[in-house]
Structure 1
Amino acid sequence: VVEPAASATRGARSQRLAFGRKLSQREQAILTRQLASLLIAGLPLDEALGVLTEQAERDYIRELMAAIRAEVLGGHSLANALGQHPRDFPEIYRALVAAGEHTGKLGIVLSRLADYIEQSNALKQKILLAFTYPGIVTLIAFGIVTFLLSYVVPQVVNVFASTKQQLPVLTIVMMALSDFVRHWWWAILIAVAFVVWFVKATLSRDGPRLAFDRWVLTAPLAGKLVRGYNTVRFASTLGILTAAGVPILRALQAAGETLSNRAMRANIDDAIVRVREGSALSRALNNVKTFPPVLVHLIRSGEATGDVTTMLDRAAEGEARELERRTMFLTSLLEPLLILAMGGIVLVIVLAVMLPIIELNNMVQ
């Protein structure tokens, strides 16, 4: 009778917490780092969780830490306690914690996990910042073109239209486009919304999403970025899991689940089958042709020396640097192209406005 009641209590507590905002990646990294430091310093797990509960800056974090501490005091492992909150602690996080508890090195594992989360957040931030400027330029260009078409072009061109003057073809086309934007803007919004909905609905299905992800990997510029980003995640995750003593098959499965590209994830499933049949990890990854050759070569070297974890960490660091370099190259290429495109569009609109003025001036002369 007691066990079902306890399960019901845990479920109710988890359901109440589910209504709050989940942990941000920054908060997750901070909590992991603090818990690792406290455990390495020698504090018992329940006391360390109590410290995190007391110093929590947000009510949701305080309630979350209190709930986890209550589970631990009730005799559950930390991994099981975190399992009651899957929105805040994903499967790979819980697998690493379970491995740390099993090996008795929970503090060290949490410290490596905090490093991984912080490095992952920093990489995402760098990529986001790199594409921020091109995004701002695109929005400004769209706003300028919309303003010119909906306000400037009608005001200027209508003056010449009232004179019964034969307008240039470019001006006539621009007037028609301006009328369409001003009178059918709602249809444009509906069409854009429909296209977005259709694409999301299509990609939510396994077949089209797998085909799309395979195509993305072959794209000239995006393919290398997607492959590089997923390689960093895979190598970093697999390195942490193997260092924590997680069996290779389980580590491969957990690392594969971190991949955002489903085509690469499917190839990892094939690699798992090959490893289960007795193939070496480097040979299995080489056969599926998913990751850059340098990762496979480093893993092969690690297998020869008996230190795969170090080679995985080295591969992740090298691929992260290469990903940053490719991102900077792509953004440095996009910025002038966007400026040229914006200038070209504005030039066409200005010519459409100026051509009637030039022709009228020629007629007067």
Structure 2
Amino acid sequence: MKYYQATLLVRGIRRNIILKAYDRADAIKKIKKEYQGTLIRIKETSAPIDATVREFFSQFKSTVATKRVQPRNLIAAIRQLAVMTNAGISIHDALNEIANATNDEKLKEILTQASENINAGLSLSETFKRYRYDVGGITLAMIELGEQTGNMADALSGLADILEEIQENIQKFKKAMRYPMITLAAMAIAFTILIMVVVPKFKSIFEKFHAELPLPTKILLGIESVMSNYGLYVLGGLVFTVVMAMYFYRNNDDFKYKADQLMLKTYLIKDIIFFATLNRFSIVFTELVHAGIPIADALDTATSMIDNAVMREKLEAVKVSVSRGVSLTEAFRDTGVFENMIIQMISAGESSGQLDSMMRKVTDYYRMRFNHILDNMSSYIEPIMLAVIASLVLLLALGIFLPMWDMARAVKGH
């Protein structure tokens, strides 16, 4: 939204007001509704400092403190909505019924607001767009599919199946990460205890001899000094950095793009994001094409639910190329994202008129690749985990024993 400064003539007196609106027309509409007087002039202006500060803290609070919708509750609500819609119950009444039945406060708020908005003439997809962060892009895409095809019950049922599959993959990922995270956490605790308890005792011994200490020992003593004197500041700085990174990732497009770009270059993370994104994209695109939605519209909807900004930019290029008359096969090839095998499958489906059938096979392929990564997560992480543990053990061993050997040689020589 933008800020506008308007000059009004009220009973012969000029008044300047600043208001927030989507565009100039929306600002004029609000002025006529909320203020009395003659509008003389209106122009776009920068946000007032107090409004900027309030908006920052509001967005910051929504980033780190707002309750999230529990996935299992969202899936259950969508299942119920699909059943009730199929039974002929209106969306408005179904949303009210589900909102009253759920114990999830955030979900209750969303469903209640959606019911009120539908009663005011908005569509379900327009309502849910305001809660994209809570319900997810796939939910919006499938609801739009239901509205476009007129078969909301099937679209919601398919959406629930997709969300259940995603939730299963998330649980697989958490299960695969549990052992490495516990191991690394235990190692980090042990390392901290050794640094805070053992190293200080050796430090007093080293200081008595006034000997030149090797580099590993200097590193250990440096870490011990920082943790003893600035430990709380370091911890606070880390927490602050994480929180601010979360805030900027959600509210700053440039920061999000660079962060997404970095993640697509990071070991293992890049594969998880890549195949998860293409799997979700192909699922939605296939469903839309199968429902008879035009290719350009299907691409528009499917790309809109992609969270990674870099991947979304590349796939949006497909939509632009197709709208210019380029074949779908060539448009996919130009992105450089899809393998040659996938391009051949899409080409075969496009030339034979069975694109939806071939896209289902593409979806199965990306699902298989994504599941393969999740199922073998431990084997991918173990080398990193072993390298980290070995590095910590080696640093401790060299840092403590090297000066001890030097001192022992010095005593013998003396």
Fold-level similarity (TM above 0.5): yes
Residue number among 116, 122, 126 corresponding to 2:168 in the alignment? 122
Aligned-pair distance for 1:347? 3.9
The structure with the largest helix share of the pair is: 1
Q: Which residue of 1 aligns with 2:74?
A: 28
Kept after mapping to 2: 8 A contact 1:231/1:291: no
Residue number among 372, 380, 386 corresponding to 1:333 in the alignment? 380
Q: Which amino acid aligns with 1:121?
A: Q
1:184-233 per-residue CA deviation (whole Å, 9 max, x = no partner) reads 43564577568768977987765565466456545564433332121112
Q: Which residue of 2 aligns with 1:236?
A: 283
1:182 aligns with 2:228: yes
Please report the RMSD computed on the Cα atoms of aligned residues, expressed in angstroms.
Answer: 4.0
Q: Secondary structure at the match of 1:259?
A: coil
Kept after mapping to 2: 8 A contact 1:235/1:315: yes
In structure 1, the gaps of 5 or more residues are: 9-17
What is the TM-score of this pair, normalised by structure 2?
0.69
1:103 aligns with 2:149: yes
Q: Which residue of 1 aligns with 2:214?
A: 169
Q: Secondary structure at the match of 2:343?
A: helix
Q: Which amino acid aligns with 1:334?
A: I
Q: Secondary structure at the match of 2:325?
A: coil
Identity %: 22
1:218-259 per-residue CA deviation (whole Å, 9 max, x = no partner) reads 556443333212111211121223334433222212221222
Q: Which residue of 1 aligns with 2:21?
A: none
In structure 2, the gaps of 5 or more residues are: 1-29, 35-61
Aligned-pair distance for 1:336? 4.2
Q: Which residue of 2 aligns with 1:253?
A: 300
Cα distance in 2 between the residues matched to 1:39 and 1:167: 78
Aligned-pair distance for 1:327? 4.1
Q: 1:253 to 1:175 in 2, by over 3 A?
A: same
Deviates more, 1:118-127 or 1:324-333: 324-333
Q: Which residue of 1 aligns with 2:196?
A: 150
Bigger relative contact order, structure 1 or 2 (CA pairs below 8 A, ≥6 apart): 1
Q: Secondary structure at the match of 1:131?
A: helix
Deviates more, 1:107-116 or 1:351-360: 351-360
Kept after mapping to 2: 8 A contact 1:127/1:324: no
1:108-145 per-residue CA deviation (whole Å, 9 max, x = no partner) reads 11111111222222223323332333333333333222
Deviates more, 1:231-240 or 1:291-300: 291-300
**Equivalent residues in 2 for 1:42-57, closer than 5 Å:** 42-57=88-103
Kept after mapping to 1: 8 A contact 2:169/2:374: no
Q: Which amino acid aligns with 1:140?
A: A
**Equivalent residues in 2 for 1:254-269, closer than 5 Å:** 254-269=301-316
Kept after mapping to 2: 8 A contact 1:36/1:111: yes
Q: Secondary structure at the match of 2:175?
A: helix
Aligned-pair distance for 1:152? 0.7
Q: Which amino acid aligns with 1:349?
A: L
What is the TM-score of this pair, normalised by structure 1?
0.76
Q: Which residue of 2 aligns with 1:12?
A: none
Q: Which amino acid aligns with 1:117?
A: L
Q: 1:356 to 1:294 in 2, by over 3 A?
A: same
Cα distance in 1 between the residues matched to 2:254 and 2:124: 38
Deviates more, 1:65-74 or 1:111-120: 65-74
Q: 1:308 to 1:155 in 2, by over 3 A?
A: same
Q: 1:151 to 1:218 in 2, by over 3 A?
A: closer
Kept after mapping to 2: 8 A contact 1:141/1:342: yes
Cα distance in 2 between the residues matched to 1:181 and 1:96: 51
State the aligned residue count.
350
Q: Which amino acid aligns with 1:317?
A: D
Q: 1:274 to 1:59 in 2, by over 3 A?
A: closer
Q: 1:159 to 1:129 in 2, by over 3 A?
A: same
Q: Which residue of 2 aligns with 1:15?
A: none
Q: Which residue of 2 aligns with 1:315?
A: 362
Q: 1:114 to 1:293 in 2, by over 3 A?
A: farther
Q: Secondary structure at the match of 1:114?
A: helix
Cα distance in 2 between the residues matched to 1:20 and 1:332: 36
Q: Which residue of 1 aligns with 2:332?
A: 285
1:14-72 per-residue CA deviation (whole Å, 9 max, x = no partner) reads xxxx9984533332221111211233345454554454244323455445444544555
**Equivalent residues in 2 for 1:53-64, closer than 5 Å:** 53-62=99-108, 64=110
Aligned-pair distance for 1:285? 0.9
Q: Which residue of 1 aligns with 2:274?
A: 227
Aligned-pair distance for 1:314? 2.7
Q: 1:294 to 1:219 in 2, by over 3 A?
A: farther
Deviates more, 1:188-197 or 1:118-127: 188-197
Aligned-pair distance for 1:276? 0.6
Residue number among 176, 182, 185 corresponding to 1:139 in the alignment? 185
**Equivalent residues in 2 for 1:186-197, closer than 5 Å:** 188-189=234-235, 192=238
Q: Secondary structure at the match of 1:127?
A: helix
Q: Which residue of 2 aligns with 1:11?
A: none
Q: 1:139 to 1:59 in 2, by over 3 A?
A: closer
Cα distance in 2 between the residues matched to 1:146 and 1:125: 30
Deviates more, 1:228-237 or 1:333-342: 333-342
Q: Which residue of 2 aligns with 1:39?
A: 85
Deviates more, 1:88-97 or 1:136-145: 88-97
1:304-324 per-residue CA deviation (whole Å, 9 max, x = no partner) reads 343333333332232122123
Q: Secondary structure at the match of 1:246?
A: coil
Cα distance in 2 between the residues matched to 1:107 and 1:332: 41
Q: Secondary structure at the match of 2:300?
A: helix
The structure with the largest strand share of the pair is: 2
Q: Which amino acid aligns with 1:33?
A: R
